């Protein structure tokens, strides 16, 4: 099969188009013919082996999985004899955070991994796009912050993949949303549900007089220290990037009552139930895809270069 092979850690040039053996499903696995994958900042980190913890987890000298790529959408082409949740021909979407593999024509995945049937009202590209940011935003907003109707949330980095689906999920949970983005993305975030917008290029959102039950820094550009004055008495500051500052503040604020700082690594904590829930929201039209650019598999390195600019809006999708 055709695949984009990661030949070592490094620049996008380590991604080389080539041939790999088509995988065979084990008893509990699906063989999925991949139609779409996504490129995320995490994919770039896996490719670079930076931060160093990536190398500790996935191979010191080169990635132990030659085909990277986590999110996918595609068709079930074969199943192992023990598979019960899916049948041949099902259109599915999901994540392969432990074994990767979506940058190739086929991947095998155990059925207990985060996989769901793809809603019929979206394309494979749209499903994979929604899967990327919404799985992260769901765990932060629903499970960590326990966002409630009537609460006010501020989302920094609102035009990125995590931010744009965080806006949509926060509206679903009945919150009022203030989105922080550049002026160029003001209309985009309003279109997806933001009630208020702060342009970070002309004003400092940490100086706002508004107070928020939740401050979600989806892009990881702020600190708890600068944001804690924005929080209500028991407010929660959420951060997607594991900086030393958030780790220390998380430990410190966990000791007492009042304001909290929280980081979560969502990728390895996804379950089929989360994907099924998100699929229901897609079917209901509550979650809508935001696709900035589409590339073919052979142009994956270009897609990685674009994602690394840090300027993408929503998602970058690979169509296979
Ligand atoms: N903890 C976890 O489990 C987890 C899971 C997934 C992702 N992440 C991390 O979450 C972060 C966000 O991922 P993502 O895919 O949403 O990123 P992304 O889509 O690449 O973010 C790009 C967006 O951020 C905006 N932006 C850049 N600088 C900004 C600033 N200073 N203030 C506000 N907005 C700014 C850009 O808009 P402009 O061009 O207009 O500036 C652009 O639209 C990444 O670091 C990723 O690694 C963590």
Phi, psi angles (nearest 5°) of residue 157 = 75, 35
CB of 272 closer than 6 angstroms to any ligand 1 atom:
no
- How far, rounded to the nearest angstrom, does the alpha carbon of residue 217 sit from its chain's CA centroid? 14
* Whether the model pTM is above 0.95: yes
Vertex 241: Cα angle to 235 and 242 (nearest 5): 95
Ligand 1 centroid vs 171 CA: distance in angstroms? 20
CB of 159 closer than 6 angstroms to any ligand 1 atom:
yes
Stated as kind and residue range, the H or E segment containing 19 is: strand 15-19
CB of 40 closer than 6 angstroms to any ligand 1 atom:
yes
| Atom 5 of ligand 1, nearest CA residue | 136
| Atom 23 of ligand 1, nearest CA residue | 160
What pLDDT was estimated at residue 269?
84
CB of 178 closer than 6 angstroms to any ligand 1 atom:
no
Q: Ligand 1 pocket test: pick from 39, 114, 160 the residue with the most ligand atoms within 8 Å of its Cβ.
A: 160
DSSP 114-163: SEEEPPTTS-HHHHHHHHHHHHHHHIIIIIIS---TT-EEEEETTTBHHH
| Atom 33 of ligand 1, nearest CA residue | 157
Q: What domains lie within the chain, and their CATH numbers?
A: 2-130+270-319 (3.90.180.10), 134-267 (3.40.50.720)
Count of residues in the chain: 320
Taking the CA of residue 180 as reference, the ligand 1 atom at the shortest distance is 33
CB of 74 closer than 6 angstroms to any ligand 1 atom:
no
How many other C-beta atoms lie within 10 A of the C-beta of residue 65? Answer: 16
pLDDT in tens, the chain (320 residues): 999 999 999 999 999 999 999 999 999 999 999 999 999 999 999 999 998 988 998 999 989 999 999 999 999 999 999 999 999 999 999 999 999 999 999 999 999 999 999 999 999 999 999 999 999 999 999 999 999 999 999 999 999 999 999 999 999 999 999 999 999 999 999 999 999 999 999 999 999 999 999 999 999 999 999 999 999 999 999 999 999 999 999 999 999 899 999 999 998 889 999 999 999 999 999 999 999 999 999 999 999 999 999 999 999 999 99
Question: By the 8 A CB rule, do 168 and 282 touch?
Answer: no
């Amino acid at each position: 099969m055709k695949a984009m092979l990661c030949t070592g850690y490094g620049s996008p040039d380590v991604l080389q188009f080539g041939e790999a053996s088509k995988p065979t499903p084990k008893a509990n696995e699906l063989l999925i013919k991949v139609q779409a994958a996504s490129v995320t900042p995490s994919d770039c980190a896996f490719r670079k082996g930076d931060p160093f913890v990536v190398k500790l987890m996935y191979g010191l000298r080169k990635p132990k999985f030659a085909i990277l790529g986590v999110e996918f959408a595609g068709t079930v082409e074969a199943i192992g004899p023990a598979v019960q949740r899916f049948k041949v021909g099902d259109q599915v979407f999901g994540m392969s955070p432990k074994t990767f593999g979506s940058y190739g024509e086929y991947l095998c995945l155990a059925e207990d991994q985060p996989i769901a049937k793809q809603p019929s009202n979206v394309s494979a590209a749209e499903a994979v796009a929604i899967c990327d940011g919404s799985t992260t935003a769901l765990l932060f907003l629903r499970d960590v912050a326990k966002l409630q109707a009537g609460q006010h949330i501020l989302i920094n980095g609102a035009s990125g993949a995590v931010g744009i689906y965080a806006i949509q999920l926060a509206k679903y949970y009945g919150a009022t949303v203030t989105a922080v983005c550049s002026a160029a993305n003001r209309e985009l975030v309003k279109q997806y549900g933001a009630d208020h917008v702060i342009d970070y290029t002309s004003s400092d959102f940490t100086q706002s007089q508004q107070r928020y039950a939740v401050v979600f820094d989806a892009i990881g550009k702020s600190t708890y220290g600068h944001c804690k004055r924005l929080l209500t008495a028991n407010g929660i500051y959420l951060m997607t990037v594991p900086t030393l500052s958030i780790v220390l503040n998380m430990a410190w604020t966990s000791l007492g009552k009042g304001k909290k700082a929280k980081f979560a690594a969502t990728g390895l904590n996804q379950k089929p139930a989360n994907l099924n829930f998100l699929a229901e929201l897609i079917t209901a039209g509550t979650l809508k895809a935001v696709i900035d650019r589409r590339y073919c598999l052979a142009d994956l390195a270009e897609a990685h270069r674009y994602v690394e600019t840090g300027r993408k809006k929503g998602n970058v999708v690979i169509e296979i």
